[in-house]
């Protein structure tokens, strides 16, 4: 039984599949693998999954309530609701293996709050987000490796450590101009930019008068530019996002890191083309009410903003 309290980690998924395969191969018994949240997201996992299934292990996907375990004499009874048959199914079992609940140390919540980085639903560093996989966090220059983000193999932890070291060296060699410019005559020092930046790239110097922008931490998402009530911020060499809704009934603002790339890939794969104007934007957070109203003023009837996962 796997994935009923939380989405299983690839490391524990692999161990569960290998155990099921070993039992099936060594003993003449029926093996049932009951699962809910299960992702074959690790190297070789899909191949292992097929191997286990082809060996005769029966996989049962349960989407509603978790199975109930009862003891009847010398055997276990595992009861679950079959969503297709719409009735309770009871399995008599000699042994039941249940995945353990893995939780992070409570201290990590305090550490995450101090560093300003996200945790996943189990309290581990790095929320489940493909943009952050495998070593990045929501803050540039802060990395998570190994068991800091859940159970992983030693081999995987070593690879992540090497990747983090390589990225740190590149970051130290990098010379970047600040992505965001501030027009001090419009700035009221309300610190909205400081509060809204999810990457910790805005800071105040002791005795300084205006906010400063740390280029090494800035991801140029545009959230601070959009949030500034005085429109005192802008990108280097930019006059806005340049979006135009002329001759388009529907305008879609798509994040350049997710929705835009997904649409272009779908288009290349021949999965159809939408009747709308697609505008690539830095980040969904860079779109404010004024931008959407401008699109409507230019003739659009519908405005859609497609953004990343909330932990991006």
DSSP state of 138: S
Residue with tokens 């509060």: 195
Task: Say if CB 289 and CB 253 are below 8 A apart.
Answer: no
**What's the pLDDT score for residue 54?**
93
Task: Say if CB 116 and CB 140 are below 8 A apart.
Answer: no
Domain borders along the chain are 10-93, 107-173, 180-235, 250-306
Task: Say if CB 2 and CB 99 are below 8 A apart.
Answer: yes
CA gap 193, 211 in Å, rounded: 8
Give tens-digit pLDDT for 135-191: 888 788 889 988 888 888 888 889 889 989 988 888 777 766 667 889 999 999 999
Task: Say if CB 134 and CB 163 are below 8 A apart.
Answer: yes
**What's the pLDDT score for residue 187?**
93
The stretch 182-208 carries a mean pLDDT of 88
Phi, psi of 264 (to 5 degrees): -60, -40
CA gap 138, 152 in Å, rounded: 21
Confidence band, pLDDT 50/70/90 cuts, at residue 244: low
Fold match between 10-93 and 180-235?
no
Residue 253 has pLDDT above 70, yes or no: yes
CA gap 70, 90 in Å, rounded: 10
Superfamily of 10-93 according to CATH: FAD/NAD(P)-binding domain (3.50.50.60)
Task: Say if CB 281 and CB 243 are below 8 A apart.
Answer: yes
What percent of the chain stands above pLDDT 70? 87
Confidence band, pLDDT 50/70/90 cuts, at residue 129: low
Confidence band, pLDDT 50/70/90 cuts, at residue 110: very high
Integer angstrom CA distances of residue 216 from 142, 191, 212, 222, 243 = 11, 20, 12, 15, 27
Structure tokens given for 78: 């595992």
CA gap 68, 66 in Å, rounded: 7
- Of 184, 234, 227, 244, the closest CA to residue 209 belongs to 184
**Helix, strand, or coil (residue 155):** helix
- Rg from Cα positions in the chain: 25
DSSP string covering 76-102: EEEEEEETTTTEEEEEEES----PPPP
CA gap 39, 58 in Å, rounded: 17
Query: Does residue 231 come out as left (phi exceeding 0), alpha (psi in the -120 to 50 range) or beta?
Result: left
**What's the pLDDT score for residue 48?**
92
Give tens-digit pLDDT for 5-44: 666 777 888 888 999 999 999 988 899 998 887 766 677 8
Query: Does residue 302 come out as left (phi exceeding 0), alpha (psi in the -120 to 50 range) or beta?
Result: beta
CATH class for the domain made up of 180-235? alpha beta
């Amino acid at each position: 039984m796997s994935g009923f309290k939380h989405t299983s980690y690839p490391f524990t998924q692999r161990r569960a599949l290998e155990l099921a395969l070993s039992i099936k191969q060594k003993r003449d018994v029926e093996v049932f693998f009951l699962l809910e949240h299960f992702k074959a997201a690790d190297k070789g996992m899909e191949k292992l999954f097929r191997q286990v299934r082809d060996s005769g292990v029966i996989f049962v996907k349960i989407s509603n309530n978790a199975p109930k375990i009862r003891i009847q004499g010398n055997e276990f009874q595992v009861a679950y609701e079959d969503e297709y048959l719409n009735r309770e199914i009871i399995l008599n079992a000699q042994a039941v293996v249940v995945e353990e609940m893995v939780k992070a140390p409570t201290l990590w919540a305090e550490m995450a709050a101090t560093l300003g980085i996200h945790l996943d639903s189990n309290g581990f560093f790095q929320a489940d987000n493909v943009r952050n996989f495998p070593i990045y966090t929501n803050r540039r220059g802060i990395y998570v490796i190994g068991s800091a983000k859940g159970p992983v193999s030693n081999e995987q932890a070593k690879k992540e450590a090497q990747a983090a070291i390589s990225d740190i060296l590149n970051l130290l060699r990098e010379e970047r101009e600040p992505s965001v410019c501030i027009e001090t005559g419009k700035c009221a020092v309300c610190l909205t930019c400081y509060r809204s930046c999810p990457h910790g790239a805005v800071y105040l110097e002791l005795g300084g008068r205006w906010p400063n922008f740390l280029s090494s931490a800035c991801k140029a998402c545009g959230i601070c530019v959009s949030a500034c009530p005085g429109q005192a911020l802008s990108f280097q060499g930019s006059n806005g996002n340049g979006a135009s809704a002329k001759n388009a009934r529907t305008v879609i603002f798509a994040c350049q890191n997710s929705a835009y790339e997904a649409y272009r890939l779908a288009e290349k794969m021949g999965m159809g083309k939408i009747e709308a104007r697609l505008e690539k934007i830095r980040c969904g957070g860079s779109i404010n009410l004024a931008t959407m109203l401008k699109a409507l003023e230019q003739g659009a009837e519908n405005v859609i903003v497609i953004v990343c996962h909330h932990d991006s």
